[in-house]
């Protein structure tokens, strides 16, 4: 019995996810002082729906490998994938992606991953998106999916960022879109003359700007773990059905 | 030790092993009886793997251990796992 042939047989089984695909950086765009979006061409990717993520693998010259998960900002049925990454000060991978990566560079990707924190145009009803920092990324994919499909589902976005400069996708979100309502929340620095003092998101912000529980919106919350858990608790306190609230935590940030 | 994340993060590691996306599967917690999608569980990442805890009672549902030549999945904390098809 040959172990090698067993392995060869196993590897020959078609399996759309789980495989690592070689991707090539097509372009990058600065989104904020600490973040940028990265467009990759990934032959064999085969498309993704809004809200999914990819695992990204980097291999150093000495063979050391690091794997990290990043949400996908784009929606397509092809091989183009747009990620957006915020640099974590103590990060091992994100500083490289934000500061060093150049068009033509190669990365390995696995995915698309995750079938739970997703929105598709076939889902009926109102949608409340709540993002903190780079937690906007999968929510941006949902907004783009809504636009691309011509869906008229009512969407609201609450987007919490440190300062106006820290917003990802600013110009796209500032472009008026019928049926999409965007509320900005600033935690440290606000634009001049802004009505709300800088501060973290509160239950009052949600009561004021989010769809009410009585509308039974589908709610998607994404961001640093502390942000997500604060928001999820506040939503339940405001009467939202916990089953309608989907969350994705990025960990510490 | 980094802060916990959630079951969404298991999609990649489990895709090495399973053809279906297990993060949409529902698990029944042996400790408290809660039934939730795996995506809703709390996940404590560790260089050696992942510890997956019930979002309601914090009991360990599952441990995924990365070994050089295999992946070990310990399922001591769940009565069952229901996978949508």
Query: d(Cα B82, Cα B85) in Å, to the nearest integer?
Result: 10
- Give the closest-approach CA distance of A222 to chain B in angstroms: 11
Instruction: Report the pLDDT value the prediction gives residue A13, as an integer from 0 to 100.
Output: 45
Given this model, what pLDDT does residue A246 score? 98
Is residue A109 located within the same domain as residue A131?
no
Domain residue limits, chain B: 5-82
**Number of separate domains in chain A:** 2
Which alpha helices (H) appear in chain A, and where do they start and end?
Answer: 3-12, 94-99, 136-149, 170-174, 203-209, 225-237
Q: What is the largest CA-CA distance in chain A?
A: 76
Note whether A137 and A57 are same-domain residues.
no
Residue of B nearest to A91 (CA): B2
Residue A253's pLDDT is: 59
Indicate whether A245 and A134 sit together in one domain: yes
Within 8 A of A119 by CB-CB distance, chain B residues are none
**Do A167 and A132 share a structural domain?**
yes
Measured distance CA(B50)–CA(B57) in Å, rounded:
18
Contact present, A125 and A57 (Cβ < 8 Å): no
Chain B residues with CB inside 8 Å of A69's CB? Answer: 9, 12
- Residues of A within 8 A of B16 (CB-CB) are 18
Q: What is the pLDDT of residue B85?
A: 86
Bigger pLDDT: A206 vs B17: A206
Chain B residues with beta carbon closer than 8 angstroms to that of A248: 6, 8
Residue B1 has which token pair? 């030790």
Q: Give the closest-approach CA distance of B76 to chain A in angstroms.
A: 24
A5 in a structural domain: no
CATH of the domain at A134: 3.40.50.80
Q: How far is B27 from chain A (nearest CA, A)?
A: 14
DSSP B41-69: SEEEEETTEEEEE-TTT--EEEEEEEETT
CATH assignment at residue A30: 2.40.30.10
Q: Which chain B residue has its CA at the smallest distance from A228's CA?
A: B5
Q: What was the ipTM of the complex prediction? A: 0.95
* Residues A39 and A103 occupy one common structural domain: yes
**C-alpha pair distances (Å), A24 with each of A35, A81, A156:** 19, 10, 34
Residues of A at the B interface, defined by Cβ within 8 angstroms: 15, 17-18, 53, 55, 67, 69, 110-111, 113-117, 225-226, 246-252
CA A74 to chain centre: 9
pLDDT (tens place) for every residue of chain A, 253 residues total: 444 455 554 444 444 557 899 999 999 999 999 999 999 999 999 999 999 999 999 998 999 999 999 999 999 999 999 999 999 988 889 999 999 999 999 999 999 999 999 999 999 899 999 999 999 999 999 999 999 999 999 999 999 999 999 999 999 999 999 999 999 999 999 999 999 999 999 999 999 999 999 999 999 999 999 999 999 999 999 999 999 999 999 987 5
Whether residue A122 lies inside any domain: the answer is no
The reply to whether A82 and A188 lie within a common domain is: no
What Cα–Cα distance (Å) separates residue A31 from each residue in A83, A84, A88, A161? 11, 8, 15, 13
Separation CA B70–CA A64 (nearest Å): 18
Average of per-residue pLDDT across B43-64 = 95
Is A27 inside any structural domain? yes
Residue A93 confidence (pLDDT): 93
Bridge partners for A72 per DSSP: A83
For residue A112, whether the previous peptide bond is cis, meaning omega lies within 30 degrees of 0, is yes
Judgement on whether residues A158 and A231 belong to the same structural domain of the protein: yes
- Domain co-membership, A197 together with A144: yes
Residue ranges making up the domain that contains A42: 14-113
């Amino acid at each position: 019995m040959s172990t090698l042939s067993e392995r060869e047989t196993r590897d020959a089984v078609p399996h759309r996810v789980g495989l690592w695909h070689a991707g090539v950086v097509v372009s990058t765009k600065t989104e904020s002082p600490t973040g940028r979006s990265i467009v990759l061409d990934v032959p064999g990717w085969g498309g993704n729906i809004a809200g999914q993520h990819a695992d990204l693998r980097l291999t150093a010259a000495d063979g050391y490998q690091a794997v990290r998960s990043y949400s996908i900002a784009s929606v397509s049925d092809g091989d183009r994938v747009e990620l957006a990454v915020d640099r974590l000060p103590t990060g091992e991978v994100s500083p490289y992606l934000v500061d060093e990566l150049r068009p033509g560079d190669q990365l390995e990707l696995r995915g698309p991953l995750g079938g739970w924190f997703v929105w598709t145009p076939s889902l009926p009803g109102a949608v409340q998106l709540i993002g903190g920092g780079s937690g906007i990324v999968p929510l941006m994919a949902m907004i783009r999916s809504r636009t691309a499909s011509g869906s008229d589902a009512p969407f609201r976005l609450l987007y919490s960022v440190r300062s106006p400069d820290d917003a990802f996708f600013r110009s796209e979100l500032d472009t008026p879109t019928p049926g999409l309502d965007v509320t900005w929340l600033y935690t440290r620095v606000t634009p001049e003359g802004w009505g709300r003092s800088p501060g973290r998101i509160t239950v009052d912000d949600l009561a004021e700007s989010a769809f009410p529980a009585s509308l039974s919106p589908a709610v998607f919350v994404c961001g640093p773990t502390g942000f997500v858990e604060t928001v999820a608790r506040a939503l339940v306190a405001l009467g939202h059905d916990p089953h309608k609230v989907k969350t994705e935590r990025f960990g510490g940030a | 030790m980094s802060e916990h994340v959630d079951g969404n993060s298991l999609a990649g590691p489990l895709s090495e092993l399973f053809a279906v996306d297990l993060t949409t599967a529902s698990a029944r917690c042996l400790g408290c009886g809660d039934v939730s999608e795996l995506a809703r569980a709390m996940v404590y990442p560790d260089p050696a793997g992942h510890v997956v805890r019930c979002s309601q009672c914090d009991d360990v549902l599952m441990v995924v251990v990365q070994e050089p030549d295999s992946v070990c999945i310990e399922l001591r904390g769940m009565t069952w796992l229901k996978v949508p098809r």
